[in-house]
Amino acid sequence: MGLALYAGAALVVGTRLRRPALAESGARAVLAHFGFVTLAFLALEYALVTSDFSLRYVANNSARAYALWYRIAGLWAALEGSLVLWEWMQAGLGVVVLLWYRKRQPELFPVAAATLMGISAFFLTVLAFAADPFAPVTPVPPDGRGMNPLLEDTSMLVHPLLLYSGWTGFTVPYAFAMAALITGRLSEEWVLLTRRWAVGAWFFMTAGIIYGGWWSYHVLGWGGYWAWDPVENASFLPWLTATAYIHSVMVQERRRMLRIWNLVLLILTFSLIVFGTFLTRSGVIASVHSFTQSPVGYFFLVYLALVLLFSLGWVAARADRLRGQSELDSLVSRESAFLLNNLAFVGICFTVFFGTIFPLLAEAVRGVKMSVGTPYFNRVVVPTGLGLLGLMGVGPLIPWRRAGWASLRRTLLWPTVVALATGIVLAGFGVRRWAPLLGLMGSAFVAASVVQEFIRGAALRRTLAGEGPGPALLSLFRINRRRYGGYLVHFGVAILVVGLAVSSSYQKEREVQLRPGESLEIGRYRLAFERLSAVEGPTHTKVRAHFSVYNGHRLVGRMEPALRFYPTQQAPIAEVDYWIGLREDLYLILGSFDREGAWVTAKALVNPLVTWLWIGGGVMALGTLLALLPGAWLGSPATKAKEGDLRA
């Protein structure tokens, strides 16, 4: 902690007073800080791998029977280890910023590095005074309790790392934004410097949320992938403001507008990351009384207040110099579409935030435990999300500054026809619910607009360079990866919304009690219960139900859902069995059973088009990665001037 504080102070003071030796010592302190944090990280990981149960953290989150990868993942299974991982990533980012920007950006770098070191100092303070990962336990237990059984999944090796990479990654744009405010260098320089950092962090946040949905779907045993749980909302809130920022910052780059707005979005994103960590790690979710017993919660609340006061204070102080250099020329323009997009994202963010904290406020003020269910969130998020879907299709088709009505009608004609035709066909097949109908029409509109832009760009490329259809499409990414990568992300969102709209509206579910030989029928499947079996494992006992699955009279396979019984858990953990397909998933859960095997209670679900969610997420990831690739190679000088339309 002392090294982090010294590093930031020495870099700023040394640069300001033109004392190279002091600034150099600050740079070395950044490296030393990362080195010491790495030693702590490796020491805790070594204790987990070697089952050193003299440490309370290891005793509570590992066990001798664990495979190596579960012992490794134990480092981020609970509060103390998660903070060590976060701080290690944060310290590593400080080194990357030092090596990459110290000479390239001598004016902004010192304050940006000091901001990153200040964030590191906060996490080290929490680790030192409220969440010591090296606290001993006496007497030393012969074995550990192990982590929460729901975390005993290979997803534990991936999902937390994705989220933490996104959350820590967004501290770099925040740090450079603060550097611009404090130093008074308020041009778009800091935006251009951190553009890839913001998109890269958004990629990890998005991947973490989608992967978290997959984890919930195949592990938690309730048949869904999103429940508006506070832990889910904690990752969703900063994603909303980050997505708004990714879009609106393009307006600042292009038109020198929305400077204050973008700074506020960036500050909100970082603040919501801190809030999400407070929400999930302070004990406040279980009860406000748990929070009052945890010193961690107070640390995060105080830090959150300081971040908001400090950051917004600097925005207010520089407000006169932050006014945009351009004004909105027309309501029918790409700038307006981005602004509406931002208002929708922030509106959803406020709705989710209020719904998340309302039960906590109710318990704190009235002493009554309350819950906010899915209907509250859906009433606001679904209509606003449909509006966002429409903007996603319209926005890229509208030119900057001003759009003529004739060109707008011509541009929107094809996507509109496709969307209306989709609606007519779906209505003909009996789709009457407004939310899935509009969601599918919106997805068709977005997909058609993206395809239209690719066709238009490829046709222009064929005219300019005489390329064939395939090479022309590839050239679009070579010429403007950011633009066409973004289109691919939008196409992935359209696919994802198809899966979301259909699976959430047309899920089939049946729960029955069965004796051996009896069957459960759902959709086109018949599931015949055969028998129970039990297996003793190193950490738990597993009771498995054996089913034969028929499609009509044809045996198509077997399913074996189970319940896992842990000595340290009062209730069993469901282990679902499922089949995945493009058309639908078959999902089977064992609810309860007779110890003699006379009967079982089983729940079966048919979830249509859930796989489209994961495919859409993959397409979004691919588009983001393409947009992140280095600048395009423009080809021969003869074609450079002609390619301007593709770069617009």
Task: Fill in the amino acid letter for 530.
Answer: E
Q: Which tokens hold the place of 443?
A: 């997805």
What is the per-residue pLDDT across 208-229, written as a single tens digit (0 to 9) for each? Answer: 999 999 999 998 888 889 989 8
Provide the sign of the torsion angle of the four alpha carbons 225, 230, 235, 238, taken in this order. positive
User: If pLDDT is split at 50, 70 and 90, which confidence band does 643 have?
Assistant: very low
Beta carbons of 541 and 565 less than 8 angstroms apart: yes
Burial class (CB in 10 A: 0-12, 13-18, 19+), 135: exposed
Domains of the chain as residue ranges with CATH = 1-149 (no CATH), 153-322+329-395 (no CATH), 396-498+618-647 (no CATH), 508-611 (2.60.98)
For residue 434, the tally of other CB atoms under 10 A from its CB is 11
User: If pLDDT is split at 50, 70 and 90, which confidence band does 639 have?
Assistant: very low
Identify the DSSP state of 642.
Answer: G
- CA dihedral (611, 614, 618, 619) in degrees, to 10, reads 60
Mean per-residue pLDDT over the chain, rounded: 90
Task: Fill in the amino acid letter for 126.
Answer: V
Burial class (CB in 10 A: 0-12, 13-18, 19+), 537: exposed
What is the per-residue pLDDT for 590? 95
Beta carbons of 186 and 596 less than 8 angstroms apart: no
What is the per-residue pLDDT for 283? 67
Residues in CB range of 647: below 8 A, 6 or more apart: 479, 480, 483
C-alpha triplet 279, 283, 288: angle, nearest 5°: 90
What is the per-residue pLDDT for 498? 97
Which whole number is the average pLDDT over 118-144? Answer: 94
Beta carbons of 211 and 620 less than 8 angstroms apart: no
Cα(434)–Cα(501) distance, integer angstroms: 10
Residue 95's nearest CA partner among 121, 117, 122, 124 is: 117
What is the per-residue pLDDT for 116? 97
For residue 20, the tally of other CB atoms under 10 A from its CB is 10
Beta carbons of 271 and 307 less than 8 angstroms apart: yes
- CA 356 to chain CA centroid, nearest Å: 17
User: If pLDDT is split at 50, 70 and 90, which confidence band does 631 have?
Assistant: low
In this predicted structure, the answer to whether residue 252 has a pLDDT above a threshold of 60 is yes
Beta carbons of 310 and 353 less than 8 angstroms apart: no
Beta carbons of 69 and 144 less than 8 angstroms apart: no
Q: In 3-state terms, what secondary structure has residue 533?
A: strand
- Specify the DSSP element, H or E, that contains 508: strand 508-514
User: If pLDDT is split at 50, 70 and 90, which confidence band does 294 have?
Assistant: low
Cα(316)–Cα(305) distance, integer angstroms: 16
Residue 494's nearest CA partner among 450, 447, 436, 441 is: 447
Which whole number is the average pLDDT over 568-589? Answer: 92
Rounded to 5 degrees, φ, ψ at 577 are -120, 145
What is the per-residue pLDDT across 335-357, written as a single tens digit (0 to 9) for each? Answer: 888 999 999 999 999 999 999 98
User: If pLDDT is split at 50, 70 and 90, which confidence band does 644 have?
Assistant: very low
What is the per-residue pLDDT for 278? 85
- Say what the pTM is: 0.92
